[in-house]
Structure 1
Amino acid sequence: MRQEPFVQNESRQSAKEPSLFLLSPWLSRDSRLTAGFSGREGGVSSAPWDSLNIGLHVGDAADAVIANRKRLTDKIGWPFEAWTCAEQVHGNRVAQITADERGRGREALSDAINDCDAIMTNVPGVLLASFYADCVPLYFYAPSSGAVALAHAGWRGTVKKIAEETVQAMKQAYGTEPEELLAAIGPSIGSCCYEVDGAVITEVDRVLSELRLEEADKNACMRLKSNGKADLNLKEINRQIMIKAGILPSRIELTNWCTGCRTDLFFSHRTEGGRTGRMASWIGIRER
């Protein structure tokens, strides 16, 4: 098994502190960089969102969610005013975040960046965040320019190639060449827990055909079963899309964590029957 890039924070002293999974291979590159993924422990939300629910859109009390977000930012040493997020719609639109938009969505859904599932910035002091409970968090970092991005890839966003859209948007906005990008694929549901059928199989098969993968790589992305269903590996599909978009395979970090298997550590929409909390991915470059 490959070495896990998302490492649970060892400095957590008590159950009252947020459980965080830090993107360790990146953090040593630049002391100003922060990137990681939240767990489900160490917050104030009550069941069924217990306890570190980061999502305002799942029925939890807003004051509890805001308190949880503040716990996360405090733990990583950032001001809560930097927290910037979007209203995710399972699409593939990429929004560029400017200094004027810093802090959008941190306390209210109505204030979030509208209708997009990827956000990017080259502004130091902006903390990008997005939300998950099985979908795939995608991270992008251009060390030379300091540009960063996050993308939220459920199966719909995956087949719409949100990973490729983000790579292209970063090139257009910041001049970032794909081969200079670092990318990471974070904790999300694995093929062990994600069985699909019908239209999902059809759409995924279309994308896999467009990618023109070798048969072994195609089977690693989706394994058809005798019952007419398939085990789907969204992490690997997004990795293949990243590679086809020009990111070097050696520059892509890939998690081993499955949110469906580890509901002691993560929220899982599928495993927990749809009523649960949300984790956050985050990335940002501190101001000098």
Structure 2
Amino acid sequence: MKTKLYVNYENSIAGMTMKDETELENNNMALHACENPENIIMNRKKLAASLQCDLASFVCANQTHSAHFHKVTLTDIGRGSEQLETAIQDTDALYTYEPNIVLCSFTADCVPVIFYNEKTNLIGVIHSGWQGTVKEITPKLFEHLKQVEQCDPHDFHVQIGAALSQEKFEVDEDVYRKFKDLDYADEFMYFNDKTNKYHIDNQLTVKKQLELAGIPAEQITIDQTCTYQDPDGFSYREDKQCGRHLSFIVRKSD
């Protein structure tokens, strides 16, 4: 099973599953985009075993390209792990203080954001496709973490996972205008005269959002793997029937 590990400490593991032709449905992790749900559960169980935990400790959301987030508590354990119906509804970001819970986010071109706070042990995941980015899900969540959870942004470390590259993320003027209206994304866009398309770097836009939220730039890491160009990537732009990566983070209890 192909998995990128972004964080691999004794008490914290974070990473992202990748496309793998040797696994069921190419290592697809998404119940909402699959041929057979049993295959997905088998893939997830393999991932759980590699993390030395049970699939019952996974928590998944029904992602809708919203700016909604959810604080995961012990009552949420197992939601969405084996059934779509039990997933946390209409939510695109999860965070928790609880140990031994695997927070999950699903992407195929969208930007996955994985983060942890080294002082408070808070961990989280964000699904930021272009719609989530222009709705500012990341800034809204970190403002909440500052105001409600009393977190210091300087204590966060953030990993931006593999996503669609700027070269392959071409859009028409309507999407360009939405990014333009953010007032801080101009440097991450260019116009291609030959195709009359705009190209946007969604990863760098999200990084900018994190920096504006007060997180030090040196504590933000970007995986520049393009999900369209890399053979290990699932790309919705390339194939509307594709599977999904699972980005995850778990903090093990001491």
Contact 1:44 1:67 in 2 (8 A): no
1:39 maps to which of 5, 8, 18: 18
Contact 2:163 2:227 in 1 (8 A): yes
Are 2:217 and 1:255 aligned?
no
Q: Provide the identity percentage.
A: 28
Contact 2:173 2:198 in 1 (8 A): no
Q: Residues 215-234 of structure 1: matches in 2 within 5 Å?
A: 218-219=186-187, 221-226=188-193, 227-234=195-202
RMSD: 1.4
Are 2:241 and 1:275 aligned?
yes
* TM-score under structure 2 length normalisation: 0.95
The count of aligned residue pairs is 253
Q: Residues 34-183 of structure 1: matches in 2 within 5 Å?
A: 34-41=13-20, 44-45=23-24, 50-183=25-158
Query: Cα deviations across residues 233-252 of structure 1 (Å, max 9, x unaligned)?
Result: 00000000111111111110
Aligned to 1:6: none
Query: Cα deviations across residues 139-162 of structure 1 (Å, max 9, x unaligned)?
Result: 111011110010000000001111
The answer for unaligned runs of 5 or more in structure 2 is: none
Query: Cα deviations across residues 96-133 of structure 1 (Å, max 9, x unaligned)?
Result: 00011111100111000010100000001111001011
Q: Return the letter of the residue paired with 1:239.
A: K
2:168 maps to which of 193, 196, 204: 193
- Displacement after TM superposition at 1:198 (Å): 2.6
* TM-score under structure 1 length normalisation: 0.84
Contact 1:41 1:52 in 2 (8 A): yes
Q: Return the letter of the residue paired with 1:278.
A: R
The answer for unaligned runs of 5 or more in structure 1 is: 1-17
d(CA) in 1 for partners of 2:226, 2:169: 10
d(CA) in 2 for partners of 1:148, 1:62: 28
Contact 2:65 2:92 in 1 (8 A): yes
Runs (4+) of structure 1 exceeding 3 A deviation are none
d(CA) in 2 for partners of 1:42, 1:166: 35
Contact 2:34 2:40 in 1 (8 A): no
d(CA) in 2 for partners of 1:245, 1:224: 28
Contact 1:32 1:287 in 2 (8 A): yes
Q: Return the letter of the residue paired with 1:132.
A: T
Contact 1:43 1:71 in 2 (8 A): no
d(CA) in 1 for partners of 2:21, 2:248: 17
- Displacement after TM superposition at 1:83 (Å): 0.6
